Amino acid sequence: MRVIGNIEMYVGKIEQITESVKRFYLYPSDQKLLPAFTGGAHITTYVDLGDNILEREYSLVSHPTDRTHYAISINRDPHSRGGSAYWHDHIKVGDKVISSFPKNHFTLGFHAKHHVFYAAGIGITPFLTMMEELEAQGKTFELHYAARTKEACAYHDYLHEKYPGKCTFYFSRSDEPQRMTPETMKNQRIGSHVYFCGPVAMVSEYKEAALSYGYPEKSIHFELFAAASGENNPFLVEVINHNKVIEVNPEQTLLEALLDAGIEAPYSCKAGGCGQCEVDVVEGEVDHRDIFFSDEEREQKKMILTCCSRAKEEKLVLKL
């Protein structure tokens, strides 16, 4: 059984799911069994581009206990940071890809009596394995899934057949356009947990709505595609227990600057959603760009998520 490091894989098969979504099947080069995982898990993939490494996180869409291979589904996003375009245009069957172990920062609420999923576009991916788990455990759930058209709706037929009566689809560009709205959260039974996956704007909208309907924070779960952006100011960061002062320039994140300086800063999703890169702030105002901390936490605690948040002014003092 594997316990440490990354896993060398090769692309065994590529399937076109919709016009812009491809499913990649990854097999371990050493033919040994892969780690099983839990619903909502993802992997970090590393593709060697020669002069640099393309590092991206993708939800697993293969069955959690199928240990012969992993599958990921990638939407070719015209606004992507280059990752999805490269996967779509250059990755071929037989290519080598390095994968991390499966990690899960988007787990099912243990005490939930009912699970309600909201997916926008390719945000469907983590829900595929989560629903698989719930179905096996005999738990109740429902899915709300928005796409532009039925044709652009990845896994539409599969979901429709596998979970009859549990999925509601919303197609914004059909003859009778339908919009998915947060309103459906209002009538959920006590003990429900809600899950959002999609672009930042969608997740923020649904999170705000859930709170306004009186949902407790712990019943709200979400995963983001990418961190919110803003003006990237340069600033200085002093790390007191390492006796270092580091410049963070506009092209890099605080996390990148720390790592470049040889400081072993923790991190995982790099999108301000998982909280793994939290660091104590000793001095300085933080420009919070994550959606991980609640407003209350931002006021009470002096913390920063280094992957996306920055200094409000010219300097921050941190302790790692």
Partner 1 sequence: MYNSPVLYDQSETIKEKLSFNDKRKKHLIIYDQKAAGDVKQALTAHSQEELNYEPFEIEDAIKLQDLRTLLYSQKMGTHLYIASNWDHAATVFAEATEAGFTEDEIQTVIYGPKRRYIYCMKCYHTSEISDGDEVQCARCDAYMEVGPFFSKVRKGYIGYPFIPN
Partner 2 sequence: MFKSTNLDLFTFPFTNFKNKTYRYSNDLVALSEDKVNFMKITPEYKVQIKRKREMLEEQPEVRYQSFPHTMEMQWEFVELLIDLSINKYPEHFSVEKDGDQWTFTNHILGETETFIFGDESSLSLEPYDMIGRHFHNDFMLMVNRDDNFYLEVAQESFAALFSPNWNLGMSFNEIHGPVPFVSRDGVELTDRIRKFLLTIEPGAPRTRVNWNLMADRWDVNYETMDIWGPERDKVTAENAGKLVHLRVEEQWFIRMPRSNAILFVLDTQFLPLEDLVLRPEWLETTYFNLADIPDYMAEYKGMAPFLPQSVEYLENLMNSMKVK
Which residues bind to partner 1, rule: CB under 8 A? Answer: 110-114, 185-192, 211, 213-219
Joined tokens for residue 310: 């920055």
107 binds, among partner 2, partner 1, none (CB under 5 to 8 A by kind): partner 2
1 binds, among partner 1, partner 2, none (CB under 5 to 8 A by kind): partner 2
Q: Which of residues 274-293 bind partner 2 (CB under 8 A)?
A: 275-276, 278
Span interacting with partner 2, options 101-109, 159-167, 252-260, 289-297, rule CB under 8 A: 101-109
Is 35 a binder of partner 2 (CB under 8 A)?
yes
Is 25 a binder of partner 2 (CB under 8 A)?
no
Q: Which one, 61 or 185, has the nearer CB to partner 1?
A: 185
For 176, which DSSP code?
S
> Taking Cα atoms as reference points, which of 144, 146, 108 lies closest to residue 129?
108
What Rg value do the Cα atoms of the chain yield, rounded?
20
H-assigned helices in 115-165 = 125-137, 156-162
Across-strand partners of 247?
236
Q: Which one, 125 or 219, has the nearer CB to partner 1?
A: 219
**3-state SS record for 5-40:** CCEEEEEEEEEECCCCEEEEEEEECCCCCCCCCCCC
CA dihedral 132, 138, 144, 150 (to 10 degrees): 50
Cα(102)–Cα(28) distance, integer angstroms: 13
Q: Which one, 50 or 214, has the nearer CB to partner 1?
A: 214
37 binds, among partner 2, partner 1, none (CB under 5 to 8 A by kind): partner 2
Q: Which one, 210 or 279, has the nearer CB to partner 1?
A: 210
CA dihedral 144, 146, 147, 151 (to 10 degrees): 30
Cα(223)–Cα(206) distance, integer angstroms: 12
Torsion sign over Cα 163, 165, 168, 169: positive
Which of 103, 144, 207, 310 is in the footprint of partner 2 by CB under 8 A?
103
35 binds, among partner 2, partner 1, none (CB under 5 to 8 A by kind): partner 2
Q: Which of residues 247-276 bind partner 2 (CB under 8 A)?
A: 266, 268, 275-276
Cα(311)–Cα(287) distance, integer angstroms: 5
Binding mask 49-68 for partner 2 (x = CB under 8 A): ---------------xx---
The distance of closest approach from Cβ of residue 196 to partner 1 in the complex, given in angstroms and rounded to an integer, is 15
Residues in touch with partner 2 (CB under 8 A) = 1-6, 35-38, 41, 64-65, 100-104, 107, 109-111, 218, 266, 268, 275-276, 278
